[in-house]
Structure 1
Amino acid sequence: MENIVARWQRELRGTFSNNSPTVPQWERDLEKGDDGGYFGPESAAWAVHGSMTTLVAGIQALLIQALHPGALAGVQDHSSYRTDPLGRLAGTIRWIFTVSYGDTATARAASEKVLHIHEYIRGRYTTNTGEKRPYTANDPDLLRWIHLAFTQAFLGTHLAYGPRHGNGTAIPGGPDAYVADWAVAGALMRVDNPPTTVAELSAQLAAFTPELRYDERVAETLAFIKNPPLPRSQQAGYRVLFAAAVASLPAEYRKLLRLQTPKIGPVPLPVTVPTKAVLAVVHWSLGATGPSEAAARARRTRLGVEAAPSKRR
């Protein structure tokens, strides 16, 4: 039994680290640096990104992003998601955690690296009005759409499935605090005037509605997201997380994607309880504190911006 559990834990960790046998060096290196970083232990960003709800959020973000034909063209034409899905996932996780937990210089450098890679992602796509439009992944509207979709997904799924804090909310400071925190990441990615409140987030998302659509390319991407090439030990859990991502999607996006919440006839199936159960199992397997957060805490302790473990509380 121990061998089975150990193998499952190894496979699970490998899914998020591109099959690295140990904690990736970039996570260990987050202990280095000269300041506390953009965020700290009491921040909304740490609460959300340190939670297992990110597993659901990652799925949902991909679903929302796929609705924009320009964003999807970049993925379909240039991404290695079909041949190397774990590598692409690991790259995204690296950027998110570096911005969340690294010092400010490291967070800026990681963002500039992504922007540099984006310069080579270019092509043409057809808009809903029939216009053939050239694009690069650094086009301001595409950068904004990706940022908005990410913020919506991580916020929405955490509100739906995240732990509650002492004040009864799933996020310290409330939802606006998370949107404001992650606006920092938007600015690092050269998004002009990123939203800092839920109301602004909703308004900026709504402005994109005329540009969104469902077509054959969306259907192909959706089929892959629904059934990625995961180890057999993770497939049942992933089906639960996919259902959770669909259930917590804003209704207009769920309709556009032609997805429905799980039902038996007209009766919706419960999603929250099984989702939290899967997330709890993953949390147990990966450990209470992730390597990125642990490295950030060590750096902050070294710099004197956070008390040593024995002095906390």
Structure 2
Amino acid sequence: MSDVLEVYVDRDPGLFGPRSVTWQLHCDPVMWIAGVRALYLQALHPRAVRGVTQNSDFRKDTWGRLMRTASFVGTLTYGTTEAAERAGAKVRGIHRRLTAVDPDTGERYRVDEPELLLWVHCAEIDSYLHVARRCGLPVSDAHADRYVGEQRAAARLVGLDPADVPADTDRLADYFDKVRHDLAITPEARDVYDFLRRPPVKPLLVPLRAALWTRISGIAYGTLPPWAHELYGRPAPPPATVTRRLTAVGRILRAVPPEVRWKLPPRHILRAMERLGPGSRPSPFRLRDDAAILDPGPGPAGGRAGEGGPAA
């Protein structure tokens, strides 16, 4: 049995632990591309995107918002159980105080409605899984189902009943089939699109944005399902071209040694390895070799991943 499974007896593995698919997958740098894809996707739900745009000025706190989201995911993945529960309670507390208004009907609604929380969760998990598999990481169908099932623990922390959250890729695909009629392009979604393509930066960083961010944002948009491209009314390169570019960028990002990447704040992975030992070092390529990760757990085995759709 791999040493990844021999390190945390009598220590707190956190919400998931090294035995999980989540632990191995979330360390890969392509998750940044997946996070941008999730934002494109989430913006297509009119009520959800209004909850964001009416309660925050994301244009003035571009990178702060992105880093807070990344830190939240990192805490849930690699932090202690107490830290994860505390982070979830903080998010739930913020959401409880926020409302938004439907400009067409004048209805005021809470941003923590289960329907909206579920959309945000599923768009995020679908994006992480889709990008990981599309760029060539060794995520089998069984791994994919296990991952979707594991993420019900994260859904609970943002206020959802895990029983109401898709538990495998079949159910995740079914969810997207059902929710499609609620999705639409709105002025707010167009604002998010424009923001993601050209986020405001200081003048000295404009060349870097053009060289790096525009490429990442474009690839993230290209990985969306065709129906999302149709809603945005913006074409994307052919799927084979998107996959080739995504795979190439993934290799470039992985060329930066993990020890260098992980030293950047907030250092969740390094702190987890200090807590659990060097054998807990995550890598998505462990999924290829470590059958013990597929021991019975929260995610059922088997499932489908529809071409061009959720979790493909």
TM-score for both structures, normalised by structure 1:
0.76
From 28, 33, 36, the counterpart of 1:56 = 33
Aligned with 1:147 (options 121, 124, 127):
121
The question of whether the paired residues in 2 share the 8 Å contact of 1:70 and 1:125 is answered with yes
Q: Do the aligned partners of residues 269 and 150 (structure 1) sit closer, same or farther apart at CA in structure 2, a change above 3 Å counting?
A: closer
In 2: Cα distance, 1:90 partner to 1:245 partner: 17
- Give the deviation of 1:138 after TM superposition: 1.2
Q: Residue 203 of structure 1: CA displacement?
A: 1.6
Aligned pair count reads 264
Quote the residue 1:35 is aligned against: 12
1:211-250 alignment, distance < 5 Å: 211-230=182-201, 231=205, 232-250=207-225
Q: What is the CA-CA distance between 1:82 and the residue it aligns to?
A: 0.5
Preserved contact between residue 96 and residue 111 of structure 2 (Cα < 8 Å) = yes
Secondary structure of the structure 1 residue equivalent to 2:151:
helix
Matched-pair contact (CA < 8 Å) for 2:152–2:167: yes
Give 1:293's match in structure 2, choosing from 229, 247, 269: 269
Partner residue, 2:60: 83
Contact 1:180–1:197 at 8 Å: present in 2 too? yes
**Partners in 1 of 2:50 and 2:92 — Cα distance?**
17
CA 1:206–1:272 in structure 2 vs 1: closer, same or farther (change >3 Å)?
closer
Any gaps of 5 or more consecutive residues in structure 1? 1-32, 164-168
Out of 44-53 and 169-178, give the one that drifted further.
Answer: 169-178
For the Cα contact (< 8 Å) 1:213–1:256, is it kept in 2?
yes
Aligned-partner residue type, residue 149 of structure 1? A
Distance 1:220 1:73, change over 3 A: same
CA distance in structure 2 between the aligned counterparts of 1:307 and 1:150, rounded to whole angstroms: 28
Paired residue secondary structure (2:229): helix
Larger displacement relative to structure 2 (272-281 or 110-119): 272-281
- Report deviation, 1:172: 8.7
| Residue in structure 2 matched with residue 259 of structure 1 by the alignment | 234
2:270 aligned partner, one-letter code: A
Aligned ranges for residues 61-140 of structure 1 at < 5 Å? 61-126=38-103, 131-140=105-114
Q: Aligned partner of 1:188: which letter?
A: L
1:254 CA drift (Å): 2.0
Structure with the bigger RCO (C-alpha within 8 Å, sep 6+) is 2
Cα-Cα RMSD? 2.7
In the alignment, residue 16 of structure 2 is paired with which amino acid? F
CA contact (8 A) 1:44 1:171 kept: no
TM-score, normalisation: structure 2: 0.76
Give the letter for the 1:196 counterpart.
Answer: A
Question: Measured at CA, do residues 308 and 274 of structure 1 come closer, stay the same or move farther in structure 2, by a change above 3 Å?
Answer: closer
User: Secondary structure at the residue paired with 1:149?
Assistant: helix
Q: CA deviation at 1:253?
A: 1.8
Sort the Cα spacing of 1:162 and 1:54 in 2 relative to 1 into closer, same or farther, 3 A: farther
Residue 23 (structure 1) aligns with:
none
Partner of 1:174: 143
* Cα pair distance change 1:273/1:195, threshold 3 Å: same
Q: Structure 1 residues 308 and 242, CA, compared in 2 at 3 Å: closer, same or farther?
A: closer
For 1:122 and 1:181, how far apart are their aligned partners in 2?
A: 29
1: CA distance between counterparts of 2:29 and 2:37?
14
Return the offset for 1:233. Answer: 2.2
Classify 1:308/1:72 alpha carbon distance in 2 versus 1 (closer, same or farther; 3 Å): closer
